[in-house]
Chains A and B, each alone.
Chain A
Amino acid sequence: MKLKALLAVAFIGIILFWAAGDLPAFGDPEAPATRYTGKLYVDLALSDIGVENIVAAILASYRGFDTLGEVVVIFTAGISVALLLRRGGRL
């Protein structure tokens, strides 16, 4: 059983190392991840939103609905812990 697991891990590892050769170099400006959408945000964030911090612009404005969902997730976690562990009395 251990040998099979070792073989599986080695097989997947070889595939991953093989695929790693096709990855773009670290910090490559021509990488596909930074060439289209990322460049668009860098170019347009200041004129669209007027906020210097591009991260905040994406987080709160371009992806505002997603962030609302994240806050609801945190709220739900807190309410769930309260319902499970809170003793004596109402919420």
Chain B
Amino acid sequence: MRRNVIIKTVSRFLVPFIQVYALYVIVHGALGAGGGFQGGVVFAASFILMIIAFGLTCVRERFNYKWIVMLSALGITIYATIGLLCLIPGGNYLEYGSIEALLGIPHLHGYLIDAVEIGIGITVMATMTSIIYDMGDTGGESS
């Protein structure tokens, strides 16, 4: 497929804005509309735009399979680790209030929800990108 210079230029301009918006949606999850699932999908959409504009191989060189799989496991690990940390003060699994009561920091519960949303966002972003990589792989033929 011929790569159009207009598509390349516009997507090069647009991709950072989409990614900043995705981070905003993820971090804004505890305050308003948003959350890890939505933000992760928006972040993956920026990779899809890059694949459309620059081709799969070009994107895969910068952000390869190994990192994608590691990132998708990292998100769940963040989530589960925060859940396990809640056991230390004697709370239940994922009972964030126990950490807040132990450390005495106000609004820590909300920050932990934000951290959990970031974990969800990393996993969703990496999994969506991984699926796009596998579906768009033509095995070296020009697409």
Contacts and interface: CB of A to CB of B under 8 A. Distances in A.
A14 interface: no
A67 B124 CA distance: 12
A86 B134 contact: yes
Main secondary structure of the interface of A (DSSP, over half): helix
Contact of B109 (A50, A75, A78, A91): A50
B1 interface: no
B115 to A, nearest CB: 10
B139 A87 contact: yes
B69 A51 contact: no
B23 interface: no
Nearest to A76: B127
Interface of A: 48-53, 55-57, 59-61, 64-65, 67-68, 70-72, 74-75, 77-79, 81-82, 85-87, 91
